[in-house]
Amino acid sequence: MLNLKYEKPGTRTASNLVPGAGKAALLCCSMVFFWPQAAAADWPEFPVPDEAKVVVVGEDMNINGLPTQIWELSSSRAPEEILGYYRQEWQDPAVSDGPGYIEKEAGGWQILSRSEEPYFYTVQVTEAAMGSSFGFLAVSMPMELVNHKPDEFAKPAGSEILLDLASDDAGKRGRVVQFKNPQSIEANYGFYRKRYMAKGWNELSQLPPDSTKAMLLMNKGNGEISIVFNRVDNESYGVLVESYD
């Protein structure tokens, strides 16, 4: 495999990452994110096409307890050329009688994945301006899932966690949680407002709840929390963002 070449940008916190959830969520597939102390030496080289630019999103992440690295990829080459590169790179099966890779399409993204024990590789790419390519690369270690215990997250009854992302970048900590439940916007809003105020958080501003939407912004010391609620098809969706300097 080729050595991964990348540029490391400035700090990216959870609140920076999740607005692009329409992109990253396909790659992450509603997975839970945490940040362990993974050793760089444990990671394999990830093949990258010539002339492609790769930027670090997370070097020591975890998805559902799986240690994971994710990069953002951009290239002047068309998506089909990028995909062709990986089809060629991964054409040989990693195990006997198995496929070299699996390919699928989801939401306008082309996704290739390959299992090469103990690693699982994923490439997702879509067309950008002037026929160029934009996408993500990820490699994880599924065998490390054993004994994973996710952090507790308080939520209204009947809630389903869609995404839980936590980060600690140079001392700036953040967490983003996406969830849904059948309860009303008013019930969700009241649940979190009451819970955080009981813990000493101050309400900064708000979009009072109605039947379809609400927003709550609070702070405490060097921490800030924003929660946005929306009602869609008889279910309430929430996005909670915590950040601490």
Here the tokens at position 120 are 């699982």
Span 76-82, average pLDDT: 96
Span 79-101, average pLDDT: 90
CB neighbour list of residue 223: distance below 8 Å, 6 or more residues apart: 201, 242, 243, 244
**What's the pLDDT band for 24 if we cut at 50, 70, 90?**
very low
Here the tokens at position 241 are 């963002």
Which residue type, as a one-letter code, is found at position 110?
Q
- Residue 194 has a pLDDT of 94
Range with the poorest average pLDDT among 45-54, 62-71, 99-108: 62-71
Contact criterion met (CB below 8 Å) for 150 and 65: yes
Range with the poorest average pLDDT among 3-7, 197-201, 240-244: 3-7
Range with the poorest average pLDDT among 3-17, 164-178, 222-236: 3-17
Q: How far apart are CA 45 and CA 69, in angstroms?
A: 11
Give the mean pLDDT of the chain.
76
**What's the pLDDT band for 167 if we cut at 50, 70, 90?**
low
Span 13-42, average pLDDT: 38
- Residue 96 has a pLDDT of 76
Question: Domains of the chain by range and CATH?
Answer: 14-145 (no CATH), 160-244 (3.30.530.20)
Max mean pLDDT among 13-17, 137-141, 217-221 falls in: 217-221
Nearest Cα to Cα of residue 133 among 114, 113, 108? 108
